[in-house]
Amino acid sequence: MICMRGFMTGKKTLQLIILFFFAISFGQNSFQMIDSIAIKTKYKGDLNQLVFDLTNNQKNNVDKTRAIYSWITENISYDYKLFNKGKQKVTFKCKSKDDCAIKRKEFENKLVEKVIRKKKGVCSGYSTLFKRMCDIAKITCINIDGYVKTKSSHVGNTGILDHAWNAVIIDDKTYFVDPTWASGYCESDKNRKLTNFVKKKNDFYWFTPTEKFTIDHFPKKPEKVLNFDIRKDDYKNQPYIENSIIPYIEIESPKQGIIKAKLNDSIIFKFRYSKEFKKLQINTNLKRNPKIYSTNKKGERIFNQKTFDKQEYIPFEMKDKDYTFFYRIESENIKYVEILFDYDLKLKYLVKFE
């Protein structure tokens, strides 16, 4: 997580970067055989048999977990129509702690059966199915309800409490898995109503390092997660980082999402970014670059040459994937700074005057 890295030495940060990219490489290369077998494995009406077929020939719990994860991301789609109907509350009456546990189990059984039968579900369905399959394989797994940051307005706050994912415990170590976000993404219309699910596996959400995972995920009850030492305030106060670039960026400065500034301060922005961009822009609440695309009545995206010609750019330096640029605070009425790579919003900071 960005704010926590602020207390680490440069050597420690470099170690985290190396470990993270090693984990990505390991996930893409070493699991190819497991993934190919999992994709071909068919569900024949018996979940226990399915888990046996997926895990019987795997040599350890990491490989078994990977097989379960790959099967779910391949076979389960996001139920965007159910999501559009609104938040589904889990309600049932129970008389005692034991009775509640029984009712909870009955609910989970019905949820797992429904997800498997329909081959789709929302996040609670994904996480409950993943845990059930891990339970059958005798892999320690927990469901986690928590906060996620999905919008630039979530900078400086916890985001929204409406997501579910998993943590797997292997050899007393915690590994995070988000099978929902790993399975693909949803498209939406201009009213932000989900219109389609695009299946596209994203292995960033497989055994994600805690420092990266908690950029946009935080448990509702962190005390329930083994060896979890990220503070809620650190999660809350980090910069907003757009979802697609989280795997590729390491922020060096400012590490905090809330910039404490004085009038005419020149803020130094530094980060390492393993991808590339050609144009850098800044928007604030006082001055914004006009949008270069508009949508016509047919829903078509139209390029606007006049607004394109009015774009303003920020000069930057780039050396060995290390980017540096400066921005001067020219008004005490500035409330936030948005940073755009090639016309798309990627980072956001709040500004507080001292």
Which residues, 6 or more positions from 216, have their beta carbon under 8 angstroms from its beta carbon?
148, 149, 150, 159, 241, 243, 246
Binning pLDDT at 50, 70 and 90, where does residue 94 land? Answer: confident
Check pLDDT > 70 for residue 231: yes
For residue 229, the tally of other CB atoms under 10 A from its CB is 9
Tokens of 237: 């106060």
Q: Residue 80: is it exposed, middle or buried by C-beta count within 10 angstroms (0-12/13-18/19+)?
A: middle
What helix, strand, coil percent values describe the chain, rounded to 5? 35, 30, 35
Check pLDDT > 90 for residue 298: no
User: For residue 187, what are the β-bridge partners?
Assistant: 196
Give the pLDDT confidence of 7-47 residue by residue, as tens digits.
Answer: 233 333 344 444 444 444 444 457 999 999 999 999 999 99
Residue 99 to residues 96, 104, 150, 291, Cα–Cα distance (Å)? 5, 9, 36, 56
Tokens of 315: 């000069």
Q: Where are the domains of the chain?
A: 2-238, 250-353
Higher pLDDT, 354 or 117: 117
CB distance 129 to 123 below 8 Å: no
Question: For residue 294, what pLDDT is reported?
Answer: 87
In this prediction, residues 282-301 reach a mean pLDDT of: 90
- Per the prediction, the chain carries an average pLDDT of 90
In this prediction, residues 259-275 reach a mean pLDDT of: 97
Binning pLDDT at 50, 70 and 90, where does residue 6 land? Answer: very low
Question: For residue 89, what pLDDT is reported?
Answer: 62
Concatenated DSSP letters of 293-317: EEE-TTS-EEE-HHHHHT------E
Instruction: Work out the angle between the directed axes of helices 123-136 and 47-55 (0-180°, nearest 10).
Output: 70
Check pLDDT > 80 for residue 59: yes
- Percent of the chain whose pLDDT exceeds 70: 90
Binning pLDDT at 50, 70 and 90, where does residue 180 land? Answer: very high
Higher pLDDT, 8 or 296: 296
Give the pLDDT confidence of 66-84 residue by residue, as tens digits.
Answer: 999 999 999 999 999 999 9
Whether pTM > 0.95 for this model: the answer is no
Give the pLDDT confidence of 104-117 residue by residue, as tens digits.
Answer: 899 999 999 999 99
In this prediction, residues 275-296 reach a mean pLDDT of: 95
Check pLDDT > 50 for residue 129: yes
Higher pLDDT, 62 or 10: 62
CB distance 241 to 154 below 8 Å: no
Question: For residue 151, what pLDDT is reported?
Answer: 94
Q: How many CA atoms within 13 Å lie on the side-chain side of 203?
A: 17
CATH number assigned to the domain covering 250-353: 2.60.40
Give the pLDDT confidence of 300-352 residue by residue, as tens digits.
Answer: 889 999 999 999 999 999 999 999 999 999 999 999 999 999 999 999 999 99
